[in-house]
Chains A and B, each alone.
Chain A
Amino acid sequence: MGFLEGLWLLIWTVIKVMLIIVPLLLSVAYLTYAERKVIGAIQVRKGPNRVGYAGLLQPIADVFKLLTKEVLVPTNSHRFLFVIAPILSLAPAFAAWAVIPFSDTMVLADVNAGLLYVLALTSLGVYGVIIAGWASNSKYAFLGAMRSAAQIVAYEIAMGFALVGVVMVGGSLNLGDIVRAQEGNLFHWFWLPLFPLFIVYFISGVAETNRAPFDVAEGESEIVAGFHVDYSGMAFALFFLAEYANMIMIAALAVIMFLGGWLSPIPFIPDGIGWFFAKTGFMLLFFLWFRATFPRYRYDQIMRLGWKVFIPVTIVWLTVVAAAILLEIEPWFALRAA
């Protein structure tokens, strides 16, 4: 490869990265708007409705507010770790998007071990939380970090097991191939044969992103705001961005692995990227719905659900899946390995 060719590849890759990151940031901004509107509707309120038509400019106003606020660094904090903690929580949330296939051909990096890569990167997000809690040198922040670390470790196991089921049925670690293995109609998608794993995966995803009803890491009635209590302005906004980017990530992964990605549910309408976005939006609605519906779990109940309910359920269902693959029950289970 010549120098110019290499340079062109670099520029082209950066352009493609920008084509993913910029819409992602916009989605995060409007997800906060959607959240306030949806919760408003559920609680029979209007939600944001003053800035712009129907409050549509509210996220932009929020961004400006956060940008102009002062970033405070507490006196006895560990300065370096305090500053890099938000970056450490944001970077994996964005980097994981590299392997997400948006449609049959639209994927930044079509790597073989895509699913493993996503799992590895989502497991790194916890460092931002732990380091933030420790570096703040505050009891509330520290308690939040401890809670978050224990919770994420617990639910990651259930999540990983759920994904093992997907890999077994899909016969590949490549996210694009997993979607292609679901071709057919609505009932060929993996949500049906892997229904318990789908439920476990999605609830673990909610727990992993520290969203209500699993948001004990923030728990504003108990530990003020948890790990980000000492952060303000842009540093706080980065944590916020990471949380919402992770939510979209979990929803997109659920769509790819259980709901057929870009595949169309109706036979005569063609497949396409639109279906991917529509399904992701549908899954995101559940995050908002959960938040408006359920009271916060007590901490020991969270641990019980993760260790004593989800992990046994996934292990039992993995055995069922393995037996079904050996019996080659059509149309879902077949020996697909190379």
Chain B
Amino acid sequence: MKFAILSFPGSNCEMDLYYAIKDIIKEDAELVSYKKDSLDGFDAVLVPGGFSYGDYLRSGAIARFSPIIKPLQKFAESGKPVLGICNGFQILTEAGLLPGSLQKNVSAKFICEPEKLVVNNNKTMFSNGYDFEQKITLPIAHGDGNYYADVKTLRELEENNQIVFKYWNNPNGSVANIAGIINKKGNVLGMMPHPERAVEDILGSSDGKGIFYSIVKTIKDRGVIYE
């Protein structure tokens, strides 16, 4: 299968994702510029971390006006997997593909550290490689990771089991300890922690591999029925 890894001006985790997919997960991957107007031929899209457009105005706020966003929205509508990590999560909320928004950390500082997460829903195409309530450790590295959603949205997220990952020790003030959420349809996941930084023991953790394997497994074993 083939992953598209989007690249915006100021993205800085796209190569990390590229090597994670190519070297560790052993699947095909290609960088796709923000200028492109098509995502044809890809089985999954990864929206990487970094500081698209310097995070000026608001994280992800400018990136969402890029040409690639329309095909991304179409791709998401088709039911194929879209994973946004860190700045990618921020872009997905700005582009209306996920509810809520990401505010400045309560400490008002950037935080980079390994964080313990709880798998709150292992029935998604991004988390089926984990056990329910399994604890995994993934690094976070963000200044604006404080997830916010209003009470109504939050209730919906909970009722629909859309909260996929929760922090064990909330590092940034996110409502309901949310580290990652999925859309109602179940094919767009946004998360602040970086699974691509946790795919090799020598770098401290391999817990992130499960997310990529889940995507691959979903597509390869079951095949996704696109509407």
Q: Do A and B come from one complex?
A: no
